[in-house]
Amino acid sequence: MAWAGTGLLWTISGGVLASRTLAEIAKAGGSLPAATDLSFLQISDSHIGFSKEANKDVTETFKIALDRINAMPTPPAFLIHTGDITQLSKPEEFDTFDEVLKSCRTKDVFYVPGEHDVLNDGGKLYRDRYLKSVEAKGSGWYSFNKNGVHFIGLVNVLNLQAGGLGQLGDDQLEWLEDDVKGLGADTPIVVFAHIPLWAVYPQWGWGTSDSERALGYLKRFGSVTVLNGHIHQVLQKVEGNVTFHTAMSTAFPQPAPGTAPSPGPMKVPAEQLRSLLGLTNVQYKQGKSALAVVDSNLS
């Protein structure tokens, strides 16, 4: 295998949220930041069932990503999967994912759906399988608390409108407003959803039409971190107290915004694939507006 899937490890330590890629952690001898209060891991876009040229064995790269997680000396408290578990929402694709995931030492996984997971049934199969451990509302959104951090999983891949982008919808937005109402402004917030909740590149549909309203409800909080998938590459942006971050896929890369005729799977020579396995070190420090980002690749 010329290249491997990646995951991001998020740590919350003394109010500081930071991320490092798995490969980077391995490179550093497997050590985690000291005094870690909570660590969790984001994986995304496994696309089980995809078998085209961009990666003919996505199950294998998903396994490699899990191997990296299992190799961590301190396992993450839980995983967050930010959608596109499967390529075509087929039961057998979900089965394969579930079977492979059994090898992961970390058992708690929180999901949000990608558009590939809800293709023909409005997400019923997805909801039946992946929302058992949460109190999901509506089409599958929910929140939970871990170590003083409030996590919010949103659904923005259903009921999409012609000509539009990802969409949360009124019901979900009203729920969100209510969900955060009682929280103190010093509560760290982590929001995760499949399609970016910021306008990464609307021409390719990389954005969510009503995300501004959602972010409006989170404005008063001192620390908001938004984790998305969908675009198969790391991009980030800081806006006030909000840090936006997209994760890499464990399946195949996609082109940078506007650099190809379409956002379809990107085929690159095997020797270049490794260079697409990015190392992205992100340090988010409370009270600081700037995000420290260090990117490096595996080649």
Partner 1 sequence: MITLISKNKMAALLCGIVFLNLSLLAFAGEMKDAGTSAHENQIEIKDFAFNPKTLTVKSGEKVTWINRDEEPHTIVSVEKQFKKSTALDTDQEFTITAGAPGTYNYFCSVHPKMTGTIVVEK
Within 175-234, the residues that bind partner 1 by CB under 8 A are 203-205
CB of 138 to partner 1, least distance (A): 18
Stretch that binds partner 1, among 66-74, 243-251, 257-265, 277-285 (CB under 8 A): 257-265
Which CB sits closer to partner 1, 89 or 225? 89
According to the binding rule CB under 8 A, does residue 120 interact with partner 1? yes
Which position among 29, 135, 161, 290 is part of the footprint of partner 1 (CB under 8 A)? 161
**At 140, which amino acid appears?**
G
Which position among 15, 33, 164, 257 is part of the footprint of partner 1 (CB under 8 A)? 164
Which CB sits closer to partner 1, 24 or 93? 93
According to the binding rule CB under 8 A, does residue 119 interact with partner 1? yes
Which position among 89, 96, 228, 249 is part of the footprint of partner 1 (CB under 8 A)? 89
CB of 196 to partner 1, least distance (A): 14
Which CB sits closer to partner 1, 258 or 287? 258
Which position among 28, 30, 52, 186 is part of the footprint of partner 1 (CB under 8 A)? 52
CB of 166 to partner 1, least distance (A): 9
According to the binding rule CB under 8 A, does residue 253 interact with partner 1? no
First to last CA, the chain: 14
Query: Where does this chain bind partner 1 (CB under 8 A)?
Result: 50, 52-54, 87-89, 115-116, 119-120, 160-165, 203-205, 261-265
